[in-house]
Structure formats: structure tokens, C-alpha cells
Structure 1
């Protein structure tokens, strides 16, 4: 068994400094029979960790009626077999360009804006859901021989509100359910976001696609010590119906990744492999810089211009990232897996 902790400057594995080189891969956007291949692709790119959200609305479509909640545990088992660590982001709100941000409609319909707040009518179903979901995370924590090293409190809450009582209650709930690994929050590198989304005693991380030095400087003003981490390094973007496929230059993205690592920080590539929004679960977003424009639906594909494309193939961005990440690997990177059988 191992221990994983937040040190003054680094993450500590059994007391030894370690850097998380993570990539986002959502188990619910990838067919289960393809998990092993996609995890192999992430390892071959140079990653040692994988991050996933958990969509509440997928697993509890009606109050008290659950649908394959155990899928998360099976995915974490696949992560362990791949020799990687895991970061779990259970929400309850996840955004993720997913339908209703992962919140069930049977809850948001009656409550409206009272969701994501310290309102008893919201807290009660959240607690019931977490007590159903989290045992499979707890039993797969690193101190129990599993891969889970970090668990998130809410999701980019500083972009939404500033209800400190709600965030503290949620952190206490996670601990009360048995989560012993470090907790963290993630927000944009802006003062109001970090102020509204942070929890005292919980590691704060930042989300951005470029400007690592500036982003981490802002984070340091709010958190003078502790490991630096970009929890969402946006290497691409999602698409709306009626617009062209969003593409980010591979060389530009690789240089932005290099800058993060040169800062001594850990990183989570969002997305390392996007997958697909199955079953009509693609969400919608308001366009415009202030997210105050018209509501636009996200397409079925969640390719995200990720280094591993929607079909599981390496892109130019994959090879550029692999070159950057290889410098931080403890040994030679694994061979790139053969293409999925459906592509042979």
C-alpha cells in the first residue's frame, strides 16, 4: 500500500516528490471494450494518470433508480491494470459539456437556482447519491492498493457562485464517506473565480489553455504553498452544431504544455481523448466571451481536437505531446498500441 499527500511544494508518493502527468478520459464517453486501448494510448503518450468526471444524471435517471453505477469502479480497475493513477471528479455538478452539467432534471426542475447551494432540498439528494457512488472510489484509493490519488470538490464553482458553506459541507461529506486521499478544487486563474471556488485546507488548482506562468502566479496569490497543477489544460475545444470543427495548432499546444511543465507543475490534459456523447447526452452552452449569447447545442462528437482522436487514433498533437512528455518520463515510453480492430 502507498500514501499520497500534498506537500509544501510537491505531491508526495510515500514521502517522495512526484509529478502527475494526467489526461482526461471520461469512461462514459468511451465504450467499455475500448477502455484498455485508450488507456494504452495515454500511457504511450507519456501520461501516468487519468482523470474522469462522473455524470450523476446518467446513473440516477429517476430518484432512487440507479443505472450501472458500478461502471466507475470497473473503469478504475482498468486504470489500475494499465499501471496508472486516477483523479475522480464526482461533482455533483460537472459541466463537461454534458447534458444539464450532470445534474438530474428531476432535481433541477423543481429546485431551479437553489441547486449548487447550501439548500437542504439540494443537499439531501446529493448526500444520498454520494453515499451510493463513493464506496467504489474509497475502496480503490491508493492507500488501499488502488489507483485513486485525488478527488475533486464540486467543479469550477468560482465561475458560478460563492457559497462557502455549501463547498465546506461538500468537502466534509466526501471525508465522511471515507475519501482519505487529498481533495482539490479547480477554477479559472482569475481572482474572483479562485476566491469563490476555493475551500480552506483544500488544494486549489487552475484551469487554462495557455499563459501558464501568469496563471500560476495568480494561483500563488491565493495559495502560497502546495504543488502547482493545471487541472484542465485545454489543448482543444468542443463543437456546436452549425459551426466548423474547433482545431488548435499542434505545435502551439505542445509549447503551452511545455511551459506548464517548465513551471514545475503537474498537469491534466483536457481532453487527452474525448470520445463520444452517446444517447443524446451532449449538452449546450451559451456563446460569447461572457457566456451571455444564444444557447447552442454541442454536437454528438466529443473529439475535442484531442491528441487521441474520437476513433482512438494518434494525431500530430499526440506525437508533439509525446515528445514533450518523454523528457519527464522515468524511462522509455511504451510502444503505441495497434489501432482498434474496427480500424484495421
Structure 2
């Protein structure tokens, strides 16, 4: 009798995994998700439109479906759509969320929408716009009026984009998440309820859910009555029992089941064990729990979109450019051995798993001859004068570079301390390179040598490397965030040169000679292609910087590894002549580069 009941339940779940056109009713039962009144199991794969070239959205969605998933989960990165207050972009390139949702619907995939406003996601500032940091006393993820005013504006604009795609309006969005892992950060349920009110007042009337780690304090602080409970992650019965006890009467699911993990600069590639993953998925399938693979496909932190972690006042761990994540679908969209293992397992529970789409072509590119082109120091804007150094955000700049310059009066040599350098600084004295400072671990002092110059000129070039995206240290302004002292004396009267390193800045770089005593050099090259395909630009001959191909910022590279190759999609290349620009903070000699088919 028990076997018969189990068979009937599993059959219901198997049948419910098919997507049917037309209007449906999705609701929260006491223990199960319900679709048109019947138990429905969500098997979701997460990907982020902002990390994937738009031309590949459909392919990645089809790959997810072919692994046995019936749902796509996605973060919406607020700061990807509103870089300046009130200026929204939901139409250009990979920002067109409406088109992404439409493709999901065309591919008969349901959607879990994760709009933040805070999302984490190893994305710069956890998705929050850095313009918030221009307010000196801003408080985040709480009832701070300045913060909430910006959130309310964002919710209103995004709601207008997604409203027609809600299941309640005949679309495919089943649920919307409130905030993200709030129990890891704060305990203000009034804030969570306020966010819920913002969404509902803008016509978002699907069921909602929260997502938190499976610990008592996180679930108590981060969940709300009447909302489904997501577990990051839910791996055994104790997790589900705890959630049901904390917030009874609603479904519980694993909202982030991790097939891979993130990687910071200077670490080895994260490659979690697949055996334990398969055991966890088997448990979820056998027990008829819904779950979401975070992530099924990671994509790329193009440009300045990579975030950073910090779990102490002096720790700083920036994320690499690749968001491959050791996911089942790799950065370039290929199925990995992990993908096939998961597909094989899920296929034992789910009927009619479709065929795997053909892979996206990739290619090698022969050696590209690079030439020294210009110096950062020959392309400085007019300076802004300031009594004390100020961070990037006070000048409307997110990341990129900034030069801080002053004359030394009084003390002219000795121990120079930057408090605090965010995140990587090069020190120059009278135009000569002295040393570097990296923010991590609080070693922010270098020795300035004596010179024969009456009033030595000090220049500090600072690179922002990604705003912290998780936990308690998210007030993370870039540049020099407090002061600079020499032997304890505070240095005054600064000239500040903002260098956003955006597309406009890079296209206006003028050719110039390069002073080998300095650092901060631009290189350029060109190459011809008879046809296009994906490639990885190999930067192992350079030291630390960023790369643009045909004006597209591929992201950062750094000799500390583990990443030495940057993903370049075929859609950013063209038949005929292509141009590449490299900016390197430390290298002054041009080195040729190549394109490779794979990351490693």
C-alpha cells in the first residue's frame, strides 16, 4: 500500500513537470506547491541574464531544460539597470529582462524571479547601485529613508517590466523572492514587510518566498509568515523540519542547491565533489522536494561587475572575472561531466527530457601582435581639488581608477600609510614607481625614500576591484576612503583625477610615449578573422589589468591567478578586422596575446 501511494505521488510530480500553455493558478499548499490545484515540483536551474550575452540566452535556457529542469531562476541586478539615479535601462544588450522572460516562455519554462533589491550573487555590491554610497551616512537593507526611496523607485520600474509575465496574468513567473538571505545580515521584519508592500502595490500578486541558510536564527530573522521558505541550501530532512517548525503551513524548498562554488583571486579553482552533490539531489528527488541549482550556468562577470567577500574589517577577497562556478553548464555554454551525471539522475524521475542542444563553436586565434600605445599619465582629466582624499562614489564613479596627487611639506620621507586603500594602490614619488599596496589583511604602509627635491610630489593610483557583496562590510567605498599620513602627519591639499575606465574614456585615449619609470600602460593590437566563434583571450604574459575587444570590456586579469584567460563571445567579434586594447597596471613592455578554445 505504501509503495502504491509513493508511486501515485511521484507520478503526479512527473506529470506536473510539463509546461502547458494558457493561464494557470500557482499557489502555496500547506506542504506542497500547487499548480492548478495539483502538487507541483519545481526543478529549477539558475542563470543570470546580466552575465550572459543576449545572443546566447535561448541556448542556455535550452541546455537547462535538457538537464531535466522545468524552471529558470534568475537574479535581476538593480545596478545593471540603474547606474545613475532615475536613469533606467531595461532594453539594451543583456539588460532586456522582458525579452529573457519571453524566451523562457517560448521554451516552455517556468520562472522564479529574484529581483532583490539586494541579491548578493558575487556581483558588484550585491546588485545595489553604488550611487547610494555618495550619501555619507547611508544605511543599507533597512528602513533608512534614503535607501528606501531608491528601492521604491526601482521596484516601480521593474514591476512595469515583469508584470505581464506573472502567472496570474497568463505568464510564466511562479514566485517572486523578497530580498535575499536577509537572516544572514539583519533582523528587521518591518523592512521585509515594507518590500513586500512595494511589490504588491505595483501589481506583483504572485506568491512570494524568502531564502536563508538552514539555521534557526537566519530563518527566524529572514522569513515572513505566509511566504514559502527557501533554504540555501536544503540538503537533508533536518533542514526541512527546521524550516517547517520556524514558519509552519507553507512549502519549503531548496532555493540554492550548489553544484559548484565561487573562486577568488589567488585561490585554486573551486571544484566541489560531484558524488556528494548527486547524493543530495537523489535525496531531494526521492523526497519530492522542489529545488533550484545555484547555478546551473554561471556566465561571466564582464567589465566591473565582479563583487568581493569580506568577513572581517581588514579582509578583502575579490572575485575573479569568470563566473564558471564549476557549474554543470560551463562558462562557454558546454555540458560538463557533472551535467551528464545530473541529467542521467534526473531522467530517472522526469519523463521526456529533451535532447541536448548542439554546443556553441569555439576557436583558437593565432598570435596577436600588440604594441605599446599610451600611458594613463598622459590621459588624465582636469583635477578636482580637495582638502582630503575622497572615494570614487563622491565623484559619481563606480570603479575604474583614480589618481590622488599632493606635494609633501614637512615630512618628505618615511612611513606612508593609506587608511584605507580600496582596493589596489600604486605609489609614485616624483614620477617614480615606489611600491604597491593591496587592501587585504590591513598592510597599508610603505616606505618613501629620501629625495633631493624640495617639495616631492606624491601620486597614488588606486584601482577599485569590486564592491563587497555579502555580510556586514557592504559599506565599501572605493579609492582612498579616509586619509593618507606620512610618519603620522595627515597629508592635505590633494588634486584628484577620476578615471572611470568606461567605454567613453577608453575610446578617447590618445597615443603617447610611455615613461618606463612609471606604471599604467595601454597596449593595442588588431587581428583579422575569416569567421567568428567564441574564444578565450590568454593574458598569461601580462600582469594585472583589463581587456577590451571591439570596445567590449572582457573583465580583469591578474597574475596571481587562477584565471589567465578571459572569455570573449563570438557576438563581440566580427569577420575582418578586430581591435583589442589592454591596460596593465604593472607591465610596460608589449607582449603578444592569443585566443584559446577553452579556459584551461
TM norm. shorter chain > 0.5: yes
Is the Cα–Cα contact under 8 Å of residues 213 and 260 in structure 1 kept in the other structure? no
Indicate whether 1:302 and 2:323 are aligned. Answer: yes
- Higher mean C-alpha deviation, range 42-51 or range 251-260: 251-260
Any idea what the Cα deviations from partners look like across 1:98-133, whole Å, max 9, x if unmatched?
Answer: 001111111134165611101222111111111011
Is the Cα–Cα contact under 8 Å of residues 75 and 115 in structure 2 kept in the other structure? yes
Any idea what the Cα deviations from partners look like across 1:39-83, whole Å, max 9, x if unmatched?
Answer: 111000000000001111111101111223561111101111111
- How far off is 1:224 after superposition? 2.8
- How far off is 1:25 after superposition? 0.6
- How far off is 1:262 after superposition? 2.2
- How far off is 1:4 after superposition? 0.6
- Show the 5 A alignment for 1:204-219: 204-208=229-233, 211-219=235-243
- Show the 5 A alignment for 1:124-139: 124-139=149-164
Give the corresponding residue for 1:8. Answer: 30
* Structure 2 residues without counterparts, runs of 5 or longer: 1-22, 364-532, 534-600
Of residues 240, 246, 249, the one that matches 2:270 is 246
Is the Cα–Cα contact under 8 Å of residues 139 and 147 in structure 2 kept in the other structure? yes
Secondary structure class of the residue paired with 2:84: coil
Secondary structure class of the residue paired with 2:120: coil
Of residues 66, 71, 84, the one that matches 1:49 is 71
Q: Aligned equivalents of 1:150 and 1:168: distance in 2?
A: 16
- How far off is 1:294 after superposition? 1.5
Is the Cα–Cα contact under 8 Å of residues 228 and 264 in structure 1 kept in the other structure? no
- Show the 5 A alignment for 1:1-344: 1-68=23-90, 71-110=96-135, 114-208=139-233, 211-286=235-310, 294-329=315-350, 331-342=351-362
Task: Classify 1:233/1:112 alpha carbon distance in 2 versus 1 (closer, same or farther; 3 Å).
Answer: farther
Secondary structure class of the residue paired with 2:260: coil
Give the corresponding residue for 2:510. Answer: none
Runs of 4+ in structure 1 over 3 Å off: 341-344
Higher relative contact order by CA 8 Å / sep ≥ 6: 1 or 2? 1
TM-score normalised by structure 1 residue count: 0.95
- How far off is 1:292 after superposition? 6.6
Any idea what the Cα deviations from partners look like across 1:171-192, whole Å, max 9, x if unmatched?
Answer: 1111111111100000000011
Is the Cα–Cα contact under 8 Å of residues 224 and 247 in structure 2 kept in the other structure? no
Q: Aligned equivalents of 2:239 and 2:112: distance in 1?
A: 21
Larger proportion of helix: 1
Any idea what the Cα deviations from partners look like across 1:148-176, whole Å, max 9, x if unmatched?
Answer: 00100001000000011110110111111
Task: Classify 1:263/1:225 alpha carbon distance in 2 versus 1 (closer, same or farther; 3 Å).
Answer: farther
Say what the alpha-carbon RMSD is for the aligned residues: 1.6
Between structure 1 and structure 2, the one with the greater Rg is: 2
Task: Classify 1:152/1:312 alpha carbon distance in 2 versus 1 (closer, same or farther; 3 Å).
Answer: same
Q: Aligned equivalents of 1:317 and 1:56: distance in 2?
A: 31
Q: Aligned equivalents of 1:61 and 1:196: distance in 2?
A: 30
Larger proportion of strand: 2
